[in-house]
Amino acid sequence: FGEKVKIKLKEIVFIIQSQSNSFHSKRAEDLKRDILKQAADLGKELPTVLLIHQMNGHEGAWTILPLMRDFSVTYGRNSSWIFFCEEDTRIQVVKLLETLGRFDGSKEWFLGKALYDEESTIIHHYAFAENPTVFKFPDFAAGWALSIPLVNKLAKKLKSEPLKSDFTIDLKHEIALYIWQKGEGPHLTPVPEFCTYDVNSYKVDHCATTFSNFLPLCGEPVKKEDVFVAVKTCQKFHGDRIPVVKQTWEREAALIEYYSDYADISIPTIDLGIPNTDRGHCGKTFAILERFLNHSSSRTPWLVIVDDDTLISIFRLRKLLSCYDANEPVFLGERYGYGLGTGGYSYITGGGGMVFSRIAVQKLLASKCQCYSMDAPDDMVLGMCFSGLGIPITHSPLFHQARPMDYPKGYLSHQIPVSFHKHWNIDPVKVYFTWLAPNTEESLNGKKVGYNREDL
């Protein structure tokens, strides 16, 4: 630290963690234009700004580590830093230069806004169970940076030991683990100038980055009648899980059906004639898709498939869907990956809710791609099928495969969430009313007002 290192803007390579869906790619292009405009206004040589979804058609580019060798080869000589950010990160280029200038770019640095687990969590495979707070990982929304010597080291390591073909569940945590190398590599260095406050917050004077943290809304919310909700259940959960749906979010859905292995008129559930399986529900999910396409009378543009223990805000989902074109094949939710180091595919994890445009369902069923067994994991098979069709998966961090307590507080603080999942050791009704229920905050055009989210 100490003495300032003068760095030039053209020594920074900006990587926007973009997506190919038209709504997202436009936002990323806008951010790129803004960075280049700030550079031009400063009279500086323009930096390189890249959009991840445009890079080398690698299905797993969003997991970033597969790109390290390219980064090292292309920028390893003339650059000092690679700076990553999301499409909604807002950057003050002058402050970013000052901030990076505090670090000696000839050393290995991993910089970011630190998140940590307050208790060990399933989504991190219960890492650091004795003391989860010790391990810090970056909040991508605030931007994060790697010095070129660290990029070169990672590239070298990846050359000698290819990535394991495994699941990608929480990328920011997995990247931090990979860089740390059980103590052989650097820890994340927290940088107070990397912020996730809203651009308009009074707290941002010192910030080099901020985050536009609101629920996207593009014009009017999608009409209630334009969203069909399918709930997957089975007889053994009719008694405990379905009443939670009825007490919480069911009233937000105009069109909702419960699909089970048993027809119960009190709910009512529909028996699709598919026996319940203990593991994946591929057969049931494909039966729901087929029914949506061929038997739901209306031409409803959007389908959402949830589990009976998913907690979801259909009210917020309708706002979010206003940003997507139902005439495009859209497959939306929380993105996970499988085997992306060596090919593999991305998928939308089912518990947080899977959203489909009708055209996506049409293309999927026309392709004849199907379950390799009735109890295959439905979400992974869907990911495989869409990958084969060349239909990209669209990730939204507002969908959640786990409970609020499974995510760092600092991460949830810049979200207006759409869903959570699981009733484990929590009061699901309370979670819904604290985190998801429409309330006064929503009527103030999507701006957050303080409302109490107890430690749920």
What is residue 194's DSSP assignment?
Answer: B
**Distance, CA of 247 to CA of 251 (rounded, Å):** 8
Element (H, E) at 115: strand 114-115
Q: Quick: pLDDT tens for 427-440.
A: 999 999 999 998 74
Rounded Cα distance between 392 and 332, Å, is: 9
The answer for residues whose C-beta is within 8 angstroms of residue 281's C-beta and 6 or more apart is: 232, 375, 378
Of 316 and 444, which is predicted with more confidence? Answer: 316
Looking at the domain that runs over 9-211, which CATH code has it been given?
A: 3.90.550.50
Q: Rg of the chain over CA atoms, in angstroms?
A: 22
The architecture (CATH level 2) of 224-445 comes to Alpha-Beta Complex (3.90)
Scored b (16 or more CB within 10 A) or e, 396-422 reads bbbbbbbbbbbbbeebbebbbbbbbbb
Q: What is the DSSP string of 96-112?
A: HHHHHTTS-TTS--EEE
On the question of pLDDT at 452 being above 80, the answer is: no
Tokens of 202: 């009074």
Q: What is the pLDDT of residues 232-251, one digit of tens each?
A: 999 999 999 999 999 999 99
- Grouping H, G, I as helix, E, B as strand and the rest as coil, residue 158 is helix
The string of pLDDT tens digits covering residues 378-407 is 999 999 999 999 999 999 999 999 999 999
Tell me the average pLDDT across 264-284: 91
Q: What is the pLDDT of residues 125-143, one digit of tens each?
A: 888 888 889 999 999 999 9
- Strand, coil or helix: 93: helix
Residue ranges per domain, the chain? 9-211, 224-445
Q: Look up the pTM and report it.
A: 0.94
d(CA 244, CA 250) in angstroms, rounded, equals: 9
Q: What does the pLDDT look like over 276-299, one tens digit per residue? A: 887 789 999 999 999 999 986 678
- Return d(Cα 365, Cα 349) in angstroms, integer: 19
Query: How far apart are the C-alpha atoms of 456 and 451, rounded to whole Å?
Result: 14
d(CA 290, CA 288): 5
Amino acid letter, residue 345: Y
pLDDT tens for each residue of 8-18: 999 999 999 99
Cα torsion at 171, 55, 20, 39 (round to 10°)?
Answer: 90
pLDDT, mean of residues 100-111: 97
pLDDT at position 253 over 90:
yes
